[in-house]
Amino acid sequence: MTLSAVELTQELIRFDTVNPPGNETPCAEHLGRLLEAAGFEIAYHPLAEGRNNLIARIGGNGAKLPLCFTGHTDTVPLGLQPWSVGPHAADIADGKLYGRGASDMKSGVAAFVVAAIELADRLEGTPGLVLVITAGEEVACQGAFDLVRRGDVLGEAGAIVVAEPSSNKPWIGHKGALWLKAVTAGVTAHGSMPEKGVNAVYKAARGIAKLEDFDFNVARHPVLGGPTLNVGTVQGGINYNSVPDRAEFGLDIRTIPSQDHGRLKEELESYLGPEVELEAIIDVDGVWTEPDDPWMTQVFAVMERIHGAKPEIESATYFTDASALTPAMGKPPTVILGPGEAAMAHQTDEYCVVARIDEAVTAYREIIEGWCGL
């Protein structure tokens, strides 16, 4: 019986893996059983109780490193707006498969699992595959970084396919992310006597105003563009009639390959001055593979055959587990290629176009065949 990637996507959506709390283990074990039955060696690595990462391997000949596929099983919360469909019902209507995780990214995981299983009996004696299916990606790539910290579970890979949503377009990189918590301190006093205190909110406001004119002073990347900075949160004070003695604001900085995060944090500390203390909350590097990389040109050729047109050289706007996995697995060429719709990620009534799921299976199968010489 042929395993359907669309049906497997539906099965995965029906596992509630909203993070927090995650509870990815039942979903990971479902995939593990399918892969083990097809001949894969599987290993579970817990991020926390009920939150398993899964690594599955097959083949391997020592002459060439394996090809890695990666994806995550957790999803973001449903949001405050009501859904018009069951978020875990995995219903199909008008050529779209609906549900939380449909695009981000259970369709991508289902597609590469199906492609790998379809070719499993031909992979002995070839470079083989390693599938890295993570928990906790939606919160700072926790699962992937946990695997990296274990030190001996990942091994090296010759190339990586990240099945995040790209509408089956081959994206060759993404920016890094540096999220900083900025804190200012003051001295509290009664609101009727503000001269007796030091207002931490005023300090924060001065810092925020300065950031609007911050210049990274780096050349734009030809594909990724320039770095960006956004003040996403502001918090301060506990009541109207007290001088606030603490304020906090959050920075979301997206970086390009020429930037060093440690040096950038130091620059911002100097720019904002001693009134503002900075702490890194998320610090993940970007990923970039040159478009003329030999393997990347092969991937582009596969997608050109499937789509009937040469793909444009593009990058993802979001960051992925490749921030952890690519450097840990030997810095191989890495492509972001998945059936989901990037614009539907984290949205109410999230969906994936059904036809793209089977199209992704075709693409992954061809990529595996090319890597393994089938």
Instruction: Determine the length of the chain.
Output: 374
* Residues 83 and 348 sit within 8 Å (Cβ to Cβ): yes
* Residues 10 and 86 sit within 8 Å (Cβ to Cβ): no
* Residues 53 and 45 sit within 8 Å (Cβ to Cβ): yes
Q: Which of 74, 104, 285, 341 is catalytic?
A: 74
* Residues 5 and 360 sit within 8 Å (Cβ to Cβ): yes
How many angstroms separate the CA atoms of 42 and 44, rounded? Answer: 7
Whether residue 36 lies in the annotated active site: no
3-class secondary-structure state, position 191: coil
Whether residue 137 lies in the annotated active site: yes
* Residues 150 and 86 sit within 8 Å (Cβ to Cβ): no
Q: Which two tokens stand for residue 216?
A: 């990274």
Q: Which of 137, 146, 164, 366 is catalytic?
A: 137
* Residues 168 and 303 sit within 8 Å (Cβ to Cβ): yes
If phi > 0 it is left, if psi is from -120 to 50 it is alpha, else beta; for residue 318 that is beta
Provide the annotated active-site residues: 74, 137
